[in-house]
Amino acid sequence: MLSKKLLCLSSAVAMTVATSALADTLTIATVNNGDMIRMQGLTDDFTKKTGHTVEWVTLEENVLRQRVTTDITTKGGAFDIMTIGMYETPIWGKNGWLVPLNDLSAEYNVGDILPAMSGGLSHDGTLFAAPFYGESSMIMYRTDLMKAAGLEMPDAPSWSFIAKAARAMTDRDKEINGVCLRGKAGWGEGGAFITAMSNSFGARWFDENWNAQFDTREWSDTLNFYVNMMNDSGPPGFSTNGFNENLSLFQQGKCGMWIDATVAASFVTNPKDSTVADKVGFALAPDNGMGVRSNWLWAWALAIPAGTQKEAAAKQFIEWATSTSYIELVASKEGWANVPPGARASLYENPNYKAVPFAQKTLDSILSADPNNSTVDPSPYVGIQFAAIPEFAGIATEVSQEFSAAYAGQQTVAEALAKAQALTNDAMEAAGYR
Amino acid sequence: MARKITNNRKIINTAAAWGIGLLIFFPILWTILTSFKTEATAIADPPVFLFFDWTMENYSVVQERSNYGRFLWNSIFIAGGSTILGIIVAIPAAWSMAFVPSKRTKDILLWMLSTKMLPAVGVLYPIYLLFIKFGLLDSVLGLTIVLMLINLPIIVWMLYTYFREIPGEILEASRMDGASLKSEILYVLTPMAVPGIASTLLLNFILAWNEAFWTLNLTAAKAAPLTAFIASYSSPEGLFYAKLSAASTMAIAPILVLGWFSQKQLVRGLTFGAVK
């Protein structure tokens, strides 16, 4: 009897030791976005399934970018998984800083990832990061104000319609601004918006020999159109407005239209936070009749830095967090409107998700964005609202500062473009592109 | 003869002092108030000052999401450790500069201070590589050392200023009585400079507590202090101002309490030697 008890006890101890020997603690760096916070709350499910535990390092987007860049370039090994975007992934993958994700399980079904997402997160056909959620940009507009203005929003409007509708919807006495757009300096803020907009006006950052193109008529048309429309119909101080500022204005009923990230659709239709939740319609981002729309493409994705000692456990986590079963887990706890969007094709075939009002427009926006052919004239870079070269973030931040100064009336559009042209060419020359 | 200050003048001075004090305190007050609002009220335009439905929801969300205790403990250890370590190194340095100065003492002091003018990011990569090499990344010990080194010029400068006010003859007398160098510093100089040392301790504790660049860049999950705790609630894609305010209030509360209770020592130390 005693020997049986001893045997049972020793087996239990052996199993515990074996499990803890196999179990890892993963350190994951991520951003403080709604979908990421939700994932942190559901981590117990991953631990229950695999035995691995997770420690989260949540940082503001720009701090995170600086932090993970420092770590990966020095091979610091502080993180086992990093949350990175479409801009960093191909550059870091090319440099050999990320573990290729070419051996994910058959059950994971890599083929289900939307091609626009997998393409943007790959280098030379190898996937280096798995999309946690993807986004494009689209128009969110007030159906009641549009109706009151006697207009009807087309599914795929032009910029001239947007300008006309914005002026018609503007009512300064009631503090209603026809259109709210990003103007804040920063390559990922106002810089991203104006670059995507410029694509639809036929502009591009560089010609095929990496010469800056800010001295072209297309860029002048883009900026003048933006400034005139925003001066007529935008909110006061639009030059300092980013995503959050415009979200706040829209939720308080102070914007007729807002062109921004598709993920914002779930915020503006949430009656808990939005005063106009039941009066929001959606349309594709505008074009200018040149064959390119002004929507962007972005994904927050999970990648494994090369050199981590916990590669196998990290891959298990990525498979868990970016799988269809994770989407179902979120849907069962928080509803279908709150699942991470824009990453998997099967989500848009799901009848439950099809009932979400912004689902189809989100998918259409993502599918219409092509990072490999983002400009009317040929360009040497990949990316829509950015050029996927290491130097871009620094250059675009400076350029967007010049543009914001022009929006604020501190200089003319022509002056801002001349400065952007000079500083971009200087930086590209210093980097050896020209 | 001292100039007589009229009652009107006193009232104006008092009102001006309160006005400036309130102006400086207003951002902190606004942060505290916002922490008790809903996210929708936090962004309301026009802003709501006092009359809103007060809620503790943000605090419970922050408590649920983050291990506040660990961040707090790391902050206390890093700020306290770096300050004490700094004082231990700085007292002998300040003693030598104040009482046995050489021709180059002023130059050394200025050079030490000039290191504070260097943008921190300029030495990020060398420090990061050193941390990797010595296994100090994401460690409380590593951060304690770095913050001690960063604040050392200020500690030395402050102590040097206080020590200069102490008559050198007293130290000479102790030497005449046979005190060793160690005894001279420990039993004669230090007790006389207690107010100065206390205010130096307090000021550097506050500086180390609020330091964000190094604490964000050299930590991950284990050694992150309250500055990282605040940063984890900031988001450019989502309105979480009320939760961010709750996290900020929780992060500044301990240092506000410490500052309140030690304000006499702080003011005394900071104004020491200002009036002759």
Chain B nearest CA to A144, separation (Å): 21
Mutate to test the interface with A, among B64, B235, B241, B248 (most CBs of A within 10 A): B235
Residue range A275-312, pLDDT digits in tens: 999 999 999 999 999 999 999 999 999 999 998 999 99
Q: Is A75 on the interface with B (CB under 8 A)?
A: yes
Contact residues, chain B, for A309 at CB < 8 Å: none
A70: nearest CB among B43, B217, B234: B217
Say whether A137-296+371-430 and A2-135+297-359 share the same fold. Answer: yes
Gap between the Cα atoms of B263 and B261, Å rounded:
6
Q: Tell me, what's the ipTM? A: 0.82
| Structural domains in chain B, sorted by start | 67-232 (1.10.3720.10)
Number of cross-chain residue pairs from A and B with Cβ atoms under 8 Å apart: 99
Would you state the pLDDT for residue B276?
Answer: 43
Q: Does the beta-carbon distance from A32 to B234 stay under 8 Å? A: yes
Cβ neighbours of A109 (radius 10 Å): 14
Write the DSSP string, A281-335: EEEEPPB-SSS-BS--EEEEEEE-BTT-TTHHHHHHHHHHHTSHHHHHHHHHHH-
B237: nearest CB among A55, A66, A263: A263
Q: What percent of chain B has pLDDT over 70?
A: 96
- The contact set of B with A (CB < 8 A) is 39-40, 43-45, 65, 124-125, 128-129, 131-132, 137-138, 216-217, 220-222, 224, 228, 231-240
Q: Where are the domains of chain A?
A: 2-135+297-359, 137-296+371-430
Would you state the pLDDT for residue A152?
Answer: 96
Q: A389-393 contacts: CB < 8 A, separation 24 or more?
A: A389/A91, A389/A433, A390/A91, A391/A427, A391/A428, A391/A431, A391/A433, A392/A87, A392/A187, A393/A87, A393/A187
Gap between the Cα atoms of A195 and A385, Å rounded:
5
Pairing of strands A255-261, A130-142: antiparallel
Chain A nearest CA to B52, separation (Å): 16
Average pLDDT over residues B121-140: 94
Per CATH, the number for A2-135+297-359 is 3.40.190.10
pLDDT tens, residue order, chain A (434 aa): 445 555 555 555 554 444 445 689 999 999 988 899 999 999 999 999 999 999 999 988 888 888 999 999 999 999 999 999 999 999 999 999 999 999 999 999 999 999 999 999 999 999 999 999 999 999 999 999 999 999 999 999 999 999 999 999 999 999 999 999 999 999 999 999 999 999 999 999 999 999 999 999 999 999 999 999 999 999 999 999 999 999 999 999 999 999 999 999 989 998 988 999 999 999 999 999 999 999 999 999 999 999 899 999 999 999 999 999 999 999 999 899 889 999 999 999 999 999 999 999 999 999 999 998 999 999 999 999 999 999 999 999 999 999 999 999 999 999 999 999 999 999 999 999 98
Contact residues, chain A, for B238 at CB < 8 Å: 32-34, 244, 247, 267
Q: Does the beta-carbon distance from A252 to B43 stay under 8 Å? A: yes
Contact residues, chain A, for B46 at CB < 8 Å: none
Residue range B149-163, pLDDT digits in tens: 999 999 999 999 889
Locate the chain A residue with the closest alpha carbon to B39.
A273
Mutate to test the interface with A, among B124, B237, B241, B248 (most CBs of A within 10 A): B237
In sequence order, what are the residues at sequence separation of 6 or more whose Cβ sits closer than 8 angstroms to the Cβ of residue A290?
A: A200, A201, A202, A376
Q: Does the beta-carbon distance from B221 to A27 stay under 8 Å? A: yes
In CATH terms, the fold of domain A137-296+371-430 is: D-Maltodextrin-Binding Protein; domain 2 (3.40.190)
- Of residues B236 and A383, the one with the higher pLDDT is A383
Mutate to test the interface with B, among A28, A57, A240, A247 (most CBs of B within 10 A): A57
Chain A nearest CA to B111, separation (Å): 29
| B225 closest CA partner among B62, B63, B75, B70 | B75
To which residue do tokens 């000021």 refer?
B203
Amino acid at A396: A
Q: Does the beta-carbon distance from B235 to A79 stay under 8 Å? A: no
Q: Does the beta-carbon distance from B124 to A272 stay under 8 Å? A: no
Mutate to test the interface with B, among A25, A27, A30, A32 (most CBs of B within 10 A): A32
B217: nearest CB among A32, A60, A67: A67
Q: Is A40 on the interface with B (CB under 8 A)?
A: yes
Question: Taking a C-beta distance cutoff of 8 angstroms, is the pair A217, A225 a contact?
Answer: no
Locate the chain A residue with the closest alpha carbon to B65.
A41
- Of residues B256 and A130, the one with the higher pLDDT is A130
Write the DSSP string, A168-198: HH-BGGGTBEEEE----SSTTTHHHHHHHHH
